[in-house]
Structure 1
Amino acid sequence: MTDVRTDITQFRGSHYDFGYAQGAAIKESPVLKNRRDSWRIRKPRFQTWEQDVKHAFMRFAPGIWDELLGMRDALGLPMTDVLRDFGHYRVNAKPSGCSVLTGSNFMVRNYDYHPTTYDGRYSFFQPTDQGYAMMGPTSRVTGRMDGMNEKGLVMAYNFMQRRKPGDGFVSYMVGRIILETCATVDDAVQLLKDIPHRGSFSYIVLDRSDETYVIEVSPRSVDVRRSHTCTNHFELLTHENRHHLDDSTRRLNLIQEKEDRICAYDAFRLMNDKDRGVFADLYKSWAGTIHTTAYFPKELKAWFALGGDRDPVIFDFDGWLRGDDVATTSIHGTLDTKLGLSNTD
């Protein structure tokens, strides 16, 4: 077992200042060292052309480009390095798990991946220049793997397959741009039809209308369905699926057996309890459950647990938007592995 933690960050201000603060915070931290060391193990299989990336950000989320400039200035790195490590345009993704269940006014989600890629950072950001305020765990500092914004739009994504990648944004930056720019599920659908995609993922979105969409995305096509459950295979873009879907189907069946009339707390326990069959310990296979989250768009509240068999920490996002800082500075848990998170040596 390994003790792990997620550090909570809170920032109100411009995107540039936010980027500078993040760069300063990670400059001497294991997060930056571990991120850069990863390229010594595997060479990036992509090109990052600064003007192409800038053009994409200026079209879809110009504030995030300012954030990257702030990180560049704080870290004192060339922009090519900043875009490689934190721009998240044209980056390959490893296979992973993840499960999502939505109900009346809630989304519960397991994030399954490799611990050493996990930031161990949970961010509250309220921009003063442009874009919506948001909360959620970060991925590669600037991205979000799930979260909620001030309009009550909730987002999570699930990996589908890595074959035939295209030129575009990776999932955690797409998730961030959804939270940054979209107020409703319909806004999210339109964005996902417009934005260029690097890989194949399903994006699950819920808003205050209680409408849930699963948007199936590949670099070649986008399709939309209404559903309260999602694991790691497409149901519309089936020609894009991987060949081995047994575990994804097994988890989906377990969730669907319980989805009718399930309450948020029972859904959280279904996902987080290790003996229920959805939580996974497959960390070396890039598919172990690292966190379980729940979001409540009408109340603007969220739950978060690091590791399994945990009671959730409760966040009042509505209160934070009114100026009440979160008193908790970190969240602790354990993972059944010897692997640590990116924020540890």
Structure 2
Amino acid sequence: MAVRQQHKTFRAIEVGDGGDGRWAAYSRPLWREMEGLLTAEGRTPQGAERVRALFRAHMPELVPVLERLAGRLDRPGAEAFLTHAALRPFSQACTQIGRNGTLLRNYDLRPEQCEGTVVSSCFLRPVIGMQDMLWGLLDGMNDAGLAVSLTWGGRTAYGRGFSVLVVVRYLLETCGTVDEAVARLRSLPVAVPQNLTLVDPAKEVTVFVGPDIPVTVAPDACAANHQHLPVTGEQERALGTQERLRAVRAAGTDVAAMLRPPLYRSVDEQGSRTLYTAHYRPAEGRVTYYWPGESWQQSFGDFAPGSRTVTLGGAG
């Protein structure tokens, strides 16, 4: 049976260093739905101070940016929210591979749960990426030639720590190489099991992170939605994580393969589906986003604000 097609609008915006009002103009209309994701602890004075202290301890370079953005947003709870250390956990599917200096990924989620905003920023350095939760990143690259993307690790463990979205932001703001970023990760508490694929011109690697494991280097620079533990039959039926990992290993960085099953996922029982394919070439400072029959390129040298309403394919 054919799956109904769906449309989604993606935007591209420039926000500079966050101090001139462009970031706040984008973020304030989203605040009402975003603030509901703040945990009960994050809403208390003690909890807010705890997450601010955690942020200061682990991401000191970003503290001035955090304070600047919170001041511009000017909403109760904004600073605690922007630490990403008091957010309700979320999970998503996704498949990704790093090879030959490029990073290719599919991002899968319910369409209404994805901001769908490509952001060019210069908080500490030039960064372009797919933004989520106001300044976190699902994937992105920086001007040093480093690219990073995430997938959910497939386990339900939860602990004190940061949303992986702000971790990706932090790595791209402060690191220039894969080795530097992996070293930083070893001291960062991450709240939920996640897989990160990192690429620079000389190296690519996938690492498993989470609240209950040390940073663990994967066998190769590929990831779907499992880590070091065996995948149960139920998990595989729901996510197809092993099937997708085998497929992306075989396909390499073939964009066309990412736009076909099993890597391209049509609507599942939860309404999740592939929302975009991103192909980062960080050494060139260039990223191209793909959908069935359409693409959108952005780069540091030629970033074009605007919007695209795309058709999400219904293969099935």
The two structures have a TM-score, normalised by structure 2, of: 0.86
Conserved 8 A contact 1:112-1:286: no
Question: Is the aligned partner of 1:111 residue 2:107?
Answer: yes
Residue pair 2:27, 2:134 contacting (<8 A) in 1 also: no
TM superposition shift of 1:245: 3.0
3-state DSSP of counterpart to 2:90: coil
Amino acid paired to 1:332: T
Q: Give the RMSD, CA atoms, in angstroms.
A: 2.6
What is the match of residue 146 of structure 2? 153
Q: State the AA in 2 paired with 1:197.
A: V
Contact in 1 for aligned 2:110/2:273 (Cα 8 Å): yes
2:248 matched residue in structure 1? 255
When residues 148 and 140 of structure 1 are mapped into structure 2, their CA distance, relative to the original with a 3 A threshold, is same
2:212 to 184, 196, 220: 220
Measure how far apart 1:81 and its partner are. Answer: 4.4
Q: How far apart in 2 are the matches of 1:106 and 1:292?
A: 13
Q: Deviations over 1:101-158 (max 9, x none)?
A: 222121110011122221121101123xxx3321011011110010001111110111
Partner of 1:83: 80
Structure 2, unaligned stretches of length 5 or more? none
CA distance in 2, matches of 1:309, 1:251: 18
- Give the letter for the 1:218 counterpart: G
The answer for the alignment partner of 1:136 in structure 2 is: 129
In structure 1, what is the Cα distance between the partners aligned to 2:22 and 2:204? 35
The yes-or-no answer on 1:289 pairing with 2:280 is no
Structure 1: state its 5+ residue gaps.
321-325, 338-345
**Structure 2 CA distance for aligned equivalents of residues 179 and 241 of structure 1:** 34
- With normalisation by structure 1, the TM-score equals 0.79
User: Could you report, residue by residue, the CA deviation over 1:50-101 in whole angstroms, capped at 9, with x for unpaired residues?
Assistant: 22222232233345433343343333312x24423x3311433333210012
Matched residue type, 1:83:
A
One-letter identity of the residue aligned with 2:256: R
- Aligned residue in 1 for 2:297: 314
Distance 2:232 2:171 in 1: 24
* Of 260, 270, 273, the match for 2:257: 270
Deviation at 1:335, TM superposition (A): 3.0
State the match for 2:49 in structure 1: 51
Are 2:315 and 1:332 aligned? no
Q: Which residues in structure 2 correspond to 1:25-44 (within 5 Å)?
A: 25-27=26-28, 29=29, 31-36=30-35, 38=36, 44=39
Instruction: Report SS of the residue matched to 2:71.
Output: helix
Out of 29, 48, 61, the position equivalent to 2:59 is: 61
Cα pair distance change 1:316/1:74, threshold 3 Å: closer
Cα deviation, 1:236-289, whole Å, max 9, x if unaligned, reads x32798962340011112222223xxxx4xx11111x2x432111236626411
Tell me which amino acid in the other structure corresponds to 2:299.
D
In structure 2, the residue corresponding to 1:276 is in which secondary structure? Answer: coil
Q: Choose from 112, 116, 121 the match for 1:125.
A: 121
Instruction: Indicate if the aligned counterparts of 2:13 and 2:305 stay in contact, CA closer than 8 A.
Output: no
8 Å CA contact retained: 2:103, 2:279: yes
How far off its partner does 1:161 sit? 3.1
Percent of aligned positions that are identical = 20
